[in-house]
Amino acid sequence: MKLFSKKWKSSKKAKKQRKYRYNAPLHIKGKFLSCHLNKQLRDKYKTRSIRVRVGDKVKIMRGQFKGREGKVEKVDVKKTKVYITKMEMQKKDGSKTLYPLDPSNLLIMEMETSDKKRLKHKAGA
């Protein structure tokens, strides 16, 4: 049984913060997938961050792939992880798999602009 409180605001306890994120419904977990925009996009769309999508070009700011850029190949809303092309790890059996990255460690360099609602909503028009 999943327990999720709509009334929960905040807590200093890391245990409660983890519990909130783990038990959150998908429409709220989607908000955890926000990434910062680079300076040019920030000025253009008048917003600091936006939800990452498949097709966005991102730069990795933290971790073993720091400084590398790639295209978002997959976004896992349930695990709140982002998978980027060419960022792979080698498994014990020798096969390669995409490396899961946290969206907070990414910077959006180019946005996938085929969805006009995404741009309209954030531009404030």
Domains and CATH numbers, the chain: 34-123 (2.30.30.30)
86-95's contacts with Cβ under 8 Å and 24+ in sequence apart are: 87/60
Pure H helices in the chain: 14-23, 26-29, 39-45, 116-123
125 residues of the chain, pLDDT tens digit each: 567 777 787 889 999 999 899 999 999 999 999 999 999 999 998 999 999 999 999 999 999 999 999 999 999 999 999 999 999 999 999 999 999 999 999 999 999 888 888 877 665 54
pTM of this prediction?
0.87
The SS3 assignment for 58 reads strand
